Structure 1
Amino acid sequence: MSASRLDEAQLAECVEELAGLLVNTVDGGASIGFLAPLDRAAAVAWWTERAAAVTAGQLAVWAAFDDHRVVGTVSLAFPDKPNSRHRAELVKLMVHRSARGRGLGRTLLGVAEEAAAAAGITLLHLDTETDSPAERLYDSAGWVRAGVIPDYAADPGGKLRPTTLYYKRLTATAPAG
């Protein structure tokens, strides 16, 4: 399975499927900024609101398809300040529960890392719920733990949980800017 970068029009075409993936991920217990149960209309609205950032180049979104169905996504958020153009935040890495265990999360992570390096990014960072399955992926992919913040965010059930911050240095293959 491979992932394709979405432009604004492609994001609009996939918004219903991306919303379904978001609902599935939150319902599966992943702490990605939403509480369960996540209303599908709210998920559609959230993805729809990302279109302007994609057009502006502030957000890059990739989607993985299985038989024309979105089963995974990952995004890079690019800062807008001149002193931070060398870095980006990895956000919303999601894999549909039916597609887990096949290496898709690792594939999506690799796609984002390669694209970041090609864009001149030399530092990636992210946060994830401490002790979540995602931590195993980041640890095994060479990401470095920067620390843990207690009670950082509520999990989908509403319970405050700690968050682990990670970073990864990259070798840029193109100049940032």
Structure 2
Amino acid sequence: MTATSSITVRRVSAEEALHDATRGEPLAAALTDILINCVEGGASVSFMLPLPRTHALAFWRGALEGAARGERVLLVAETGDGRIVGTVQLVTAQPDNQPHRADVAKMLVHRDARRQGVAAQLLTAVDQAARAEKKTVLVLDTVTGSDAERLYQRAGWQLVGVVPNFALMPDGAYCGTTFFHKQLPV
């Protein structure tokens, strides 16, 4: 767990993920709100506009089920009153020849919580989670020229390269994608 000012980053337990994915869904609902907020703000994170709530909720149910099965680590950033304002995933389920690697995915910070260090805290927590999972090679991708690209560089991620026109922005415009890696000490 990481805490700076009034934001705390924590790992969602397998039990909480399973319960939420199959019964209560307050966590999935909060994560859905963040995803929709980010996509409506122009984030290219695999979803297009308009993003139906049912589609976003189905994504989070699947992610929570994956966390419950131990295929991914789900981290959330919460305010002092328990409001979730950010999230990131560490996808640990990898091919047999890559047991040491994990993908960092769906780094999302609600637009109201940006520029407050939430993303930096999530990155620190993802490094800690990766070490706990015995992962030493991390990879991620982001929109070329984005604030996120600069954030990853400041956090010590190494540029691998850029693929022009790799993905679409939520409005359908093409965007380049920048790939990064990070080597964690054993």
How is 1:57-76 mapped onto 2 (pairs within 5 angstroms)? 57-66=70-79, 67-76=81-90
Match of 1:42 in 2: 55
Distance in 2 (CA, whole Å) between partners of 1:94 and 1:10 is 20
SS at match of 1:151: strand
**Structure 1 stretch displaced more, 49-58 or 104-113:** 49-58
Match of 2:9 in 1: 3
Question: How many residues align structurally?
Answer: 172
Match of 1:94 in 2: 108
Match of 1:175 in 2: none
**Structure 1 stretch displaced more, 135-144 or 111-120:** 111-120
**How large is the RMSD of aligned CA atoms in angstroms?**
1.2
Say whether residues 1:121 and 2:127 are aligned partners.
no
How is 1:135-174 mapped onto 2 (pairs within 5 angstroms)? 135-172=149-186
Distance in 1 (CA, whole Å) between partners of 2:60 and 2:50 is 17
Match of 1:32 in 2: 45
- Residue 38 of structure 1 aligns with an amino acid whose one-letter code is L
**Structure 1 stretch displaced more, 87-96 or 53-62:** 53-62
Distance in 2 (CA, whole Å) between partners of 1:111 and 1:68 is 18
Match of 2:3 in 1: none
Please list the CA deviations of residues 44-74 of structure 1 after superposition, one character each: whole Å capped at 9, or x if unmatched: 1110112221122111101111222110001
Distance in 1 (CA, whole Å) between partners of 2:48 and 2:96 is 34
- Residue 10 of structure 1 aligns with an amino acid whose one-letter code is E
SS at match of 1:76: strand
- Residue 106 of structure 1 aligns with an amino acid whose one-letter code is A
Q: 1:8 to 1:90 in 2, by over 3 A?
A: same
Of residues 126, 134, 138 in structure 2, which corresponds to 1:112? 126
Q: 2:101–2:136: 8 Å Cα contact kept in structure 1?
A: yes
Distance in 2 (CA, whole Å) between partners of 1:37 and 1:98 is 20
- Residue 59 of structure 2 aligns with an amino acid whose one-letter code is W
Please list the CA deviations of residues 62-88 of structure 1 after superposition, one character each: whole Å capped at 9, or x if unmatched: 111122211000100013322101010
SS at match of 1:163: strand
TM-score by length of 2: 0.88
Of residues 86, 92, 96 in structure 2, which corresponds to 1:82? 96
Please list the CA deviations of residues 86-107 of structure 1 after superposition, one character each: whole Å capped at 9, or x if unmatched: 0100001110011011100000
**Structure 1 stretch displaced more, 138-147 or 32-41:** 32-41
Identity within the alignment, %: 38
